[in-house]
Amino acid sequence: MPDTATTPRNITAAHEDPPAVRIALIATALLIMGVLIVVPLVNVFYQALAGGLRLYFENLLGDPDTLHSVKLTLIVAPAAVLANIVFGVAAAWAIARFKFPGRALLTAFIDLPFAVSPVVVGLFLVLIFGLQGFLGPWLRAHDIKVIFAIPGLIIATAFVTFPVVARELIPLMEAIGADEEIAAVSLGARGWQMFRRVTLPNIKWGLLYGIILCNARAMGEFGAVAVVSGRISGQTDTMPLRVEKLFQEYNMPGAFAVASVLASLAVVTLLVKSALEWKTRSDLAAAAREASEGGQA
């Protein structure tokens, strides 16, 4: 290898573009972010509060259908998150700890909900649970409601957000490795004991990060939920559906008031996410450091 390629000066030159290019790139990035993200976000709050605080709260709390949509979202999102914690931990555990045939396939399948359009997910569910679908007639005969009711909303949301928790945990668990768990088992820990006292403390920040991200996605989910909701006002309208409905009913302040709640959620998520990201990164680094030190010893 020619040694000129690795002199510090060349490296610096390769890493640093001329100031004009740098400024132009940074300005473009900031401009795009400003136009696409900051302005609309500020506008949501501006529109929501344009009629004053009283109208804002009246719009949020005075309309029973809106209030119901908030409640419904607060039921559907946590239920979906709960399901995904169980699935996510189980899937991450299986993938990070075991080598088995079909492991690569499972990894690919976990990402499927990200790749498929949410509307298609909704249609899947209609095909399964709809009256013309596989299970629909049986469910109807037993008077069990799945689609066009809360269970359908939860399933749709859980399905769409399914990869979030698992995706967070797999790299974390792979990086941490199984050493501590093996140690725990060799010292006589039972499965559950080991999970609770060794695995869980190790992954808790990553898990929390996954939960928060999952919750944000779950609350904002529109496409899949729109298909299975049936759009019954005051019954199966979640917050994003309610926003659309209010918007279409010419109730701009109302639509923006609900939108502002969703937007606030996004901002809070972003802040918590950044904090947790920092925490997981330092955990990962610590794990890597320990591993390399262990290797040297």
Partner 1 sequence: MKKILFVAWVAMLASIGSGAAAESLTLLNVSYDPTRELWRDVNAHFIPAYQKSAGTTLEIKQSHGGSGTQARAVIDGLDADVVTLAMWPDTDAIRKAKLIDDGWEKEFPHDSSPYSSTIVFVVRKGNPKNIKDWPDIVKPGVEIVTPNPKTSGNGKFSFLAAWGAVTERGGSEADALAFVTKLYGQTPVLDLGARGSTTTFVQKKIGDVHLTWENEAHLEVQEAGGAVEIVYPPISVLAEPPVAIVDANVKRKGTGAAAKAYLDFLYTAEGQDIIAKHYFRPIDEKVFAAHTASFPDVKRFPVTAIARSWDDAYDKYFGDGKIFDSFYKPKK
What residues numbered 48-77 form the site for partner 1, per CB under 8 A?
Answer: 68, 71-72, 74-75
* Residues near partner 1 (CB under 8 A), total: 29
Which CB sits closer to partner 1, 179 or 249? 249
Q: Find the binder of partner 1 among 88, 113, 130, 220 (CB under 8 A).
A: 130
Q: Does residue number 136 form part of the binding site for partner 1 (CB under 8 A)?
A: yes
Contact between 76 and 157 under an 8 Å Cβ cutoff? The reply is yes
Q: Is 244 exposed, middle or buried (0-12, 13-18, 19+ CB in 10 A)?
A: middle
Compare residues 130 and 210 and give the one whose CB is closer to partner 1: 130
Chain positions 204 to 233 lying near partner 1, rule: CB under 8 A, are 230-233
99 by DSSP, 3-state: which? coil
Taking the complex as a whole, the smallest distance from the CB of residue 28 to partner 1 amounts, in Å, to 27
Q: How far apart are CA 100 and CA 104, in angstroms?
A: 9
Q: Spell out the residues 6+ positions from residue 19 whose beta carbon is closer than 8 angstroms to its own.
A: none
Choice between 126 and 176, CB closer to partner 1: 126
Long-range CB pairs of 289-294, under 8 A, 24+ apart, other chains included: 291/177, 294/179
> Which positions from 75 through 94 interact with partner 1, judged by CB under 8 A?
75, 78
Residue with tokens 């768990």: 181
Q: Does 47 bind partner 1 (CB under 8 A)?
A: no
DSSP 170: H
Helix axis angle, 103-110 relative to 150-176, nearest 10°? 130
Binder of partner 1 out of 49, 234, 253, 269 (CB under 8 A): 234
Based on the shown chain and the rule CB under 8 A, indicate whether residue 151 belongs to the binding site for partner 1: no
- Residues lying near partner 1 in the complex (CB under 8 A) are found at 68, 71-72, 74-75, 78, 126, 129-133, 136, 140, 145, 147-148, 150, 230-235, 245, 247-250
